[in-house]
């Protein structure tokens, strides 16, 4: 990452990133302009939350049909059920943490992990210590040691608190990529990273009503594409970073498509 005073702003200048930012902005504006949004935005938000949680859980190995996620009320069973339950809890919790994020992002991350783990893990809510294992089978990148994790988390926190001229998409992609590369917690790192991305997209004002579930877009692109794009981020090269940001932009646009389809279905039903 650039060593300039505003490294995220520098990322926004990478080739192709501006096009991704513009495309995302136009897609989000279109769905916000849909006539259904004027009357039933709360319903769209609720449906987007469900679809986002389902997508995030799928990337963590629990690939449930949307209707199964909608139908179930008990998520205390096997590992897949607990993963889906964790994703749903994080989606609900993220909206309560927006006001804290810019002042204390590390506190928010600790809370997200605590919510995801649901007290099932004695390490819940704190970054891992030296020698502690990490359960994140999807990501096969080299695991940074605890000291590197602490330093990079502090650096990420300072960037968020200081603010940046970078577009919301760039900030969200960096937060997501950094957390998933670091895997700072013993478990649920993917779920936490995607919830943090959601917080940035909503809190930045790009998606204030949380109706554009990027998590659904990540899932639609598939786990292989997700891992490949993350490898680009972890490489630290301009090309890899730009490719990750563009990948995240595509995910937001696919999330927009999901919510647009929901709006269209509601409009047909009201006709």
34-91 pLDDT tens trace: 999 989 999 999 999 999 999 999 999 999 999 999 999 889 888 999 999 999 999 9
For the chain, what is the largest distance between any 2 Cα atoms, rounded to a whole number of angstroms?
60
8 Å CB contact between 48 and 210: yes
Structure confidence at residue 1 (pLDDT): 47
Q: Please report, for the chain, the start and end positions of each structural domain, with discontinuous segments joined by +.
A: 7-270
Residue 259: pLDDT above 50? yes
Least confident among 16-25, 117-126, 127-136: 117-126
Summarize the confidence of residues 219-234 as an average pLDDT. 97
Query: How deeply is 268 buried, as exposed, middle or buried, from its count of CB atoms within 10 A (0-12, 13-18, 19+)?
Result: exposed
Structure confidence at residue 121 (pLDDT): 75
CATH architecture of the domain 7-270 equals Orthogonal Bundle (1.10)
Tell which phi-psi region holds residue 46, choosing left (phi > 0), alpha (psi between -120 and 50) or beta: alpha
Summarize the confidence of residues 193-212 as an average pLDDT. 97
Task: Name the phi and psi angles at 5, rounded to 5.
Answer: -60, -30
Query: How deeply is 101 buried, as exposed, middle or buried, from its count of CB atoms within 10 A (0-12, 13-18, 19+)?
Result: buried
Q: Which two tokens stand for residue 47?
A: 């449906």
Structure confidence at residue 77 (pLDDT): 80
Distance CA 174, CA 200 (A): 10
Rounded to the nearest 10 degrees, the angle between the axes of helix 168-182 and helix 146-162 is: 170
The percent of residues in the chain predicted with pLDDT above 90, rounded, is 86
The b/e string for 213-245 (b: 16+ C-beta within 10 A; e otherwise) is bbbbbbbbbeeeebeebbbbbbeeeeebbbbbb
Structure confidence at residue 4 (pLDDT): 52
Q: Mean pLDDT for the chain?
A: 94
Structure confidence at residue 120 (pLDDT): 67
Which of the four pLDDT bands, split at 50, 70 and 90, describes residue 5? low
Give the single-character DSSP code of 104.
-
The percent of residues in the chain predicted with pLDDT above 70, rounded, is 97
Distance CA 47, CA 142 (A): 36
How many CB atoms lie under 10 A from the CB of residue 5? 9
Beta-sheet strands, E only, within 58-136: none
Structure confidence at residue 3 (pLDDT): 43
């Amino acid at each position: 990452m650039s060593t300039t005073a505003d490294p995220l702003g520098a990322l926004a200048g990478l080739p192709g990133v501006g096009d991704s930012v513009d495309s995302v902005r136009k897609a989000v504006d279109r769905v916000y302009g849909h006539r259904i949004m004027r009357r039933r935005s709360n319903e769209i938000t609720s449906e987007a939350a469900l679809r986002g949680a389902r997508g995030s859980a799928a990337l963590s190995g629990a690939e449930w049909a949307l209707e199964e996620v909608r139908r179930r009320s008990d998520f205390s069973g096997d590992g897949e059920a607990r993963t889906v339950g964790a994703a749903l809890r994080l989606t609900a919790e993220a909206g309560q943490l927006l006001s804290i994020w810019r002042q204390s992002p590390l506190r928010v991350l600790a809370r997200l992990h605590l919510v995801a783990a649901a007290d099932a893990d004695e390490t819940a809510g704190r970054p891992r210590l030296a020698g502690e294992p990490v359960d994140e089978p999807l990501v096969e990148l080299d695991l940074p040691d605890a000291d590197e994790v602490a330093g990079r988390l502090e650096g990420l926190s300072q960037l968020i608190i200081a603010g940046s001229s970078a577009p919301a998409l760039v900030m969200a992609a960096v937060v997501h990529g950094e957390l998933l590369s670091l895997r700072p917690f013993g478990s649920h790192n993917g779920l936490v990273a995607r919830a943090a991305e959601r917080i940035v997209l909503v809190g930045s004002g790009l998606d204030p009503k949380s109706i554009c579930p990027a998590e659904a877009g990540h899932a639609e692109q598939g786990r292989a594409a997700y891992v490949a794009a993350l490898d680009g981020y972890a490489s630290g090269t301009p090309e890899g970073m730009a490719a990750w940001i563009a990948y995240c932009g595509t995910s937001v646009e696919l999330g927009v498509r999901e919510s647009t389809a929901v709006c269209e279905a509601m409009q047909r039903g009201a006709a």
